[in-house]
Amino acid sequence: MMYFKQIFIFLVLLTVSGGNAYSQVLDLSWKHIVQDMDASWYGTEEAQGIANTVLLYQKNIGGWHKNIAMHKPLSEEEKQNLIASKPDADRCTIDNGATYLEMIFLSKVYKKTKNEVYKSAFLKGLEYLLEAQYPNGGWPQYYPLRKGYYTHITYNDGAMINVMSILKDINEGSKDLGIKVDKSTLERTQIAFNKGVSCILKTQYKQEGVLTGWCAQHDEITFQPAKARAYELPSLGGVDTAQIVLLLMEIKNPSDQVKRSIEAAVTWLEKTKITGLKEERYKTADGLKEKRYVQDVTAKPLLARFMNLEDNAPFFCDRDGVKKASIMDISQERRAGYAWYNSGPNNALKKYPEWKKSLRTHSNNENYITVAQDGSGDYSSIQDAINNCKSFPYERITITIKNGIYFEKIHVYEWNPKISFIGEDKDKTIITYNDSFNGVNLGRNSTFHTPTVLVEGNYTQFKNVTIQNSVGDVGQAIALSVNATGCVIEHCNILGNQDTLYLTGEGNKQWFRNCLITGTTDFIFGNATSLFTDCEIRSKSNSFITAASTPQDTPFGFVFKDCKLTAKDEIDKVYLGRPWRYHAKTVFLNCNLGAHIVPEGWHNWSKTDAESLSFYGEYKNSGKGASTKNRVTWSHQLSDNQAKVYSVKNMLGIKSEKEWLQ
| Cβ–Cβ under 8 Å, residues 552 and 527 | no
Distance CA 144, CA 131 (A): 9
Closest CA to 368 of 390, 352, 341, 344: 390
Annotation marks residue 240 as catalytic:
no
Distance CA 47, CA 560 (A): 64
**What are the beta bridge partners of residue 589?**
561, 619
CB atoms within 10 A of CB 376: 13
C-alpha distances in Å from residue 251, one per residue of 89, 100, 204, 375: 33, 20, 17, 8
Task: Name the active-site residue from 88, 499, 572, 640.
Answer: 499
| Cβ–Cβ under 8 Å, residues 307 and 202 | no
| Cβ–Cβ under 8 Å, residues 583 and 613 | yes
Q: Count CA atoms within 13 Å of residue 341 on its CB side.
A: 25
Residues shown for the chain: 662
* Helix-then-strand count for the chain, H and E: 17, 36
Distance CA 311, CA 235 (A): 10
Task: Name the active-site residue from 311, 522, 562, 640.
Answer: 522
Distance CA 365, CA 361 (A): 12
SS (H, E, C) 381-440: CHHHHHHCCCCCCCCCEEEEECCEEEECCEEECCCCCCEEEEECCCCCEEEEECCCHHHH
Pairing of strands 558-561, 529-533: parallel
H or E element at residue 615: strand 615-619
Instruction: Annotate 243-286 with DSSP letters as a single string.
Output: HHHHHHTTSSS--HHHHHHHHHHHHHHHHH-B-SEEEEEEE-TT
**What are the beta bridge partners of residue 411?**
454
Distance CA 109, CA 389 (A): 48
Among all residues, which ones are annotated catalytic?
499, 522
